[in-house]
Amino acid sequence: MQAGSCHQIEIGGRRVDYVLVASRTARKLRLRVGLNGVEVVRPTNRTETEVSAFLDQNEDWILDQLKRVERLRKIRLAERCAGKILFRGEHTKIRVEETAARSRGNVVSFVDGEIVVRRGMGSMTPIERSLRNWLRRQARAEIERHLDAVTTRLRKRHQRVYVLTGNLFSHRTSYSATWSHTRRSIWTFRTIPQSFG
C-alpha cells in the first residue's frame, strides 16, 4: 500500500479506515481492499467530496471485500497453527502416537475429529509420506463420489482418478480424472504443517 493520508468513513454501520493516495497519473478513482486495508487512489483533479460519493456508491462491494479479507486472515492464521490442517473444510488436528509395534510403516486414521498417525518403533517411513498417501486416498474417494453424480448426468463414465502431489509443503495438489481419452483437471490447495504435535 502506498503512503497517503488516513481517513475514516461509516459504511453499513461500521467504521472503516482507509488510506487516500493522491496520484498524478491516475485518470479515475480506484479502490483496493486487501490484507493491508482499504486504499483509495484519487487523481489530483478530483475532490474529496467526489471521493466520499465514490465510496458511498461502492459501499456493498467494500463490505463484501472486507468480509473476504477477514476470511482470508482466519485461513492464514489457521495455516500457522502447528499440527493442524484443513480437512474436508474443517480445521483438523494431526496427532502422532508412538506405538510398541515393530511394524515398518505408519497407520493413519480419522478418529474423533482428529487425524491420528500411529508410528511403530521400527517404522522407517516419514510421517509426512504416510500422511500424504492417506490424504490422497481420501481425496480420491471423495472425488470419485462426486464424479459419479456428475458423469451420470453427462452420460460419461470416468476411467480413473489421479491424485498427483508435488512437494508436500508446496501447498499444491492436482486432482484429475480421465474419461474418453480426455483429461479434466481440478486444482486445489492443501497445507500440511511442518510440525506435528
Q: How does pLDDT run across 28-49, given as a tens digit for each residue? A: 998 888 877 888 999 989 988 9
Give pTM, 2 decimals: 0.46
> Alpha-carbon distance 165 to 161, whole Å?
13
Residue 122 backbone phi and psi in degrees, to 5:
-90, 10
C-alpha cell read off for 188: 486445489
**DSSP result, 116-138:** EEEEETT--S-HHHHHHHHHHHH
Closest CA to 86 of 196, 165, 190: 190
- pLDDT in the model for residue 192: 46
Q: What is the mean pLDDT of residues 64-84?
A: 72
Q: Indicate whether 72 pLDDT > 80.
A: no
Between 21 and 173, the more confident residue is 21
Mean pLDDT of the chain: 76
Per-residue pLDDT at 75 exceeds 80: no
**pLDDT for res 3:** 63
Q: What is the pLDDT of residue 35?
A: 75
pLDDT (tens digit per residue) in 125-167: 888 888 888 988 888 888 888 777 777 777 777 667 777 654 4
